[in-house]
């Protein structure tokens, strides 16, 4: 562990190395890295782990992929973009972000972390604990404190709820993960011809690109929001009957259209036939069941780019997960603990946001590869892989003090569906967001 000046220097070096590695993995032009270095002060995301440096590297990769100058990145703007849920307001009010049933809970022999932000996950959690669906946090707490960790996780998981044990980091596992790509880019079809991107006069590098967004929550929507920022036509598709929390859509829906469609419908492949990119946020096992596996898509739609995002990676294809759960099980929550035993969270959903920016950078790079070399391409990353990267970066003995950032120059206002919303502005210089559209207000067509 390091502190103050030593930590700042080593953290900056780690951020620079991460950016260089990612840029090489996605096949970026090395000349674009010349002169790019982390700022003297990292984005103010106070934590023991190098969250600010991780955030800078993620945003810098997406900035370079858009052909913009990463030396212009503003650390305060990055920090607010990563904590965008804290600056979001709807008609002047800050929406509740966390369900009462999402959080850390003490058990007989440790802690677990649950996620109940979606109503169906909260109901499944209660069912696993044999509680009434209307049970409040105090009732859940009283039940969990009498259960062992493994028993509590097994009971909740058996009914489709989401819970993980809070574990200490496993340095051997993390080191092995760090030997794999942070974000993998692979050519999967050699026969597809090169396909040019129609350039426009408005300096938007992805104008004319069509992207199907089959993601939810934060990481995938951050990736596709970034691609929409670059000018792509992004159509987000959600399954009927599974509403997205309004705040979440308003926070990450900028510049996209939003429609409902069952992924198993024939209409899905009609849309895929005219898409350049499909971004998948389903569990890897579900992707196979839905007929959306990258190899199958490349055979049916030559030249398509398939972006695959998951919580735990392809080695754990059946597991669902969220940033908070990956933080807990990977060891981040205890690495951030103030007393070594009570878990704590990062100052932002940093795994989500970083994975989103890295995925956007890899997609933009894959589009460039397709333009010059042809082929279909698959890009992959996971929240767990981002966690391993963060756990391998320098850390402090104590987190830096919270720095108050004036949000005024870093937010924008929009009128959406009859409401006035305020959201964070883009962390990437040279672009401004188009407003989100109301969720599910569009038709599933290009």
Structural contact between residues 59 and 73, judged by C-beta atoms closer than 8 angstroms: yes
Report, as an integer, the average pLDDT of 205-229. Answer: 97
Whether 122 has a pLDDT exceeding 80, the answer reads yes
**SS (HEC) of the chain:** CECHHHHHHHHHHHHHHHHHHHHHHCCCCHHHHCCCCCCCCCCCCCCCECHHHHHHHHHHHHHHHCCCCHHHCCHHHHHHHHCHHHHCEECCECCCCCCCCCEEEECCCCEEEECCCCHHHHHHHHHHCCCCCCCCHHHHHHHHCCCCHHHHHHHHHHCCCCEEECCCCCHHHHHHHHCCCCCEEEEEECCCCCCCCCCCCCCCCCCCCEEEEECCCCHHHHHHHHHHHCCCEEEEEECCCCCCCHHHHHHHCECEEEEECCCCCHHHHHHHHCCCEEEECCCHHHHHHCCCCHHHHHHHCCCCEEEEEECCCCCCCCCCCCHHHHHHHHCHHHHCCCCCCCCCCCCCCHHHHHHHHHHHHHHHHHHHHHHHHCCEEEEEEEHHHHHHHHHCCCEECCCCCCCCCCCHHHEEEEEECCEEEEEECCCCCCCCCCCECCCCCCCCCC
Q: How does pLDDT run across 385-405, given as a tens digit for each residue? A: 999 999 999 999 888 778 889
Whether 198 has a pLDDT exceeding 80, the answer reads no
Report, as an integer, the average pLDDT of 172-187. Answer: 98
pLDDT (0 to 100) of residue 201: 60
Average pLDDT, the chain: 94
Report, as an integer, the average pLDDT of 280-301. Answer: 91
Report, as an integer, the average pLDDT of 19-45. Answer: 96
Q: How confident is the model at residue 194 (pLDDT cuts 50, 70, 90)?
A: confident
The rounded distance, in Å, linking the Cα atoms of 403 and 416 is 31
Whether 3 has a pLDDT exceeding 60, the answer reads no
How many CB atoms are closer than 10 A to CB 7? 20
pLDDT (0 to 100) of residue 219: 97
Q: How does pLDDT run across 58-117, given as a tens digit for each residue? A: 999 999 999 999 999 999 999 999 999 999 999 999 999 999 999 999 999 999 999 999
pLDDT (0 to 100) of residue 196: 75
Q: How confident is the model at residue 356 (pLDDT cuts 50, 70, 90)?
A: very high
Residues above pLDDT 90, as percent of the chain:
87
Report, as an integer, the average pLDDT of 261-265. Answer: 93
| Of 101, 170, 178, 164, residue with least CA distance to 320 | 164
Q: How confident is the model at residue 183 (pLDDT cuts 50, 70, 90)?
A: very high
The rounded distance, in Å, linking the Cα atoms of 207 and 9 is 39
Where along the chain do its domains lie? 182-319+346-394
Report, as an integer, the average pLDDT of 189-206. Answer: 78
pLDDT (0 to 100) of residue 398: 84
**182-319+346-394: CATH architecture:** 3-Layer(aba) Sandwich (3.40)
Whether 187 has a pLDDT exceeding 70, the answer reads yes
Q: How confident is the model at residue 9 (pLDDT cuts 50, 70, 90)?
A: confident
Report, as an integer, the average pLDDT of 270-286. Answer: 94
Whether 153 has a pLDDT exceeding 60, the answer reads yes
Angstrom distances, CA of residue 299 to CA of 172, 185, 262, 364: 38, 18, 21, 21
Q: Which residues contact 35 (CB under 8 A, 6 or more apart)?
A: 71
pTM of the model: 0.96
How would you classify residue 400: left for phi > 0, otherwise alpha for psi between -120 and 50, otherwise beta? beta
Q: How does pLDDT run across 230-259, given as a tens digit for each residue? A: 999 999 999 998 889 999 999 999 999 999
| Of 360, 81, 65, 348, residue with least CA distance to 223 | 360
More confident residue, 190 or 152: 152
The rounded distance, in Å, linking the Cα atoms of 144 and 107 is 6
Whether 1 has a pLDDT exceeding 70, the answer reads no
pLDDT (0 to 100) of residue 328: 98
């Amino acid at each position: 562990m390091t502190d103050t000046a030593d930590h700042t220097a080593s953290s900056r070096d780690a951020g620079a190395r991460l950016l260089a590695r990612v840029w090489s993995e996605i096949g970026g032009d090395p000349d674009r890295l010349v002169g790019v270095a982390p700022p003297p002060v990292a984005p103010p995301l106070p934590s023991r782990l190098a969250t600010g440096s991780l955030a800078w590297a993620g945003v810098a990769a997406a900035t370079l992929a858009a052909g913009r100058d990463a030396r212009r990145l503003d650390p305060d703007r990055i920090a607010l973009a990563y904590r965008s849920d804290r600056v979001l307001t709807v008609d002047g009010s800050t929406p509740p972000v966390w369900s009462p049933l999402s959080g850390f809970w003490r058990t007989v022999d440790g802690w677990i972390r649950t996620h109940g932000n979606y109503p169906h996950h909260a109901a499944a959690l209660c069912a696993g604990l044999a509680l009434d669906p209307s049970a409040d946090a105090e009732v859940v707490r009283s039940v969990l404190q009498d259960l062992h960790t493994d028993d509590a996780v097994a009971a909740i998981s058996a009914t489709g709820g989401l819970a993980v044990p809070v574990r200490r980091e496993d340095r051997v596992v993390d080191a092995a993960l760090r030997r794999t790509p942070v974000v993998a880019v692979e050519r999967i079809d050699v026969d597809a011809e090169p396909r040019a991107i129609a350039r426009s006069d408005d300096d938007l590098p992805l104008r004319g690109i069509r992207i199907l967004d089959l993601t939810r929550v934060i990481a995938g929507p951050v990736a596709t929001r970034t691609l929409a920022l670059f000018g792509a036509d992004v159509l987000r598709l959600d399954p009927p009957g599974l509403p997205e929390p309004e705040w979440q859509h308003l926070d990450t829906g900028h510049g996209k259209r939003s429609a409902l469609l069952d992924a198993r419908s024939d209409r899905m492949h009609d849309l895929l036939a005219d898409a350049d990119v499909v971004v998948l946020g389903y569990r890897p096992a579900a992707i196979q069941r839905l007929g959306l596996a990258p190899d199958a898509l490349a055979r049916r739609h030559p030249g398509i780019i398939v972006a695959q995002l998951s919580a735990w990676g392809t080695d754990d294809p059946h597991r669902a997960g969220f940033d908070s759960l990956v933080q807990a099980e990977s060891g981040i929550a205890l690495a951030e603990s103030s007393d070594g035993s009570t878990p704590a969270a990062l100052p932002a959903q940093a795994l989500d946001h970083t994975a989103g920016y890295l995925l956007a950078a890899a997609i933009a790079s894959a589009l460039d590869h397709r333009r010059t070399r042809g082929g279909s391409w698959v890009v992959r990353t996971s929240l767990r892989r981002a966690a391993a990267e963060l756990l391998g970066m320098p850390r402090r003995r104590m987190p830096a003090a919270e720095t108050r950032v004036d949000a005024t120059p870093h937010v924008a206002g929009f009128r959406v569906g009859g409401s006035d919303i305020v959201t964070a502005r883009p962390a990437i210089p040279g672009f401004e967001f188009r407003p989100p559209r109301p969720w599910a207000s569009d038709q599933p067509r290009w």
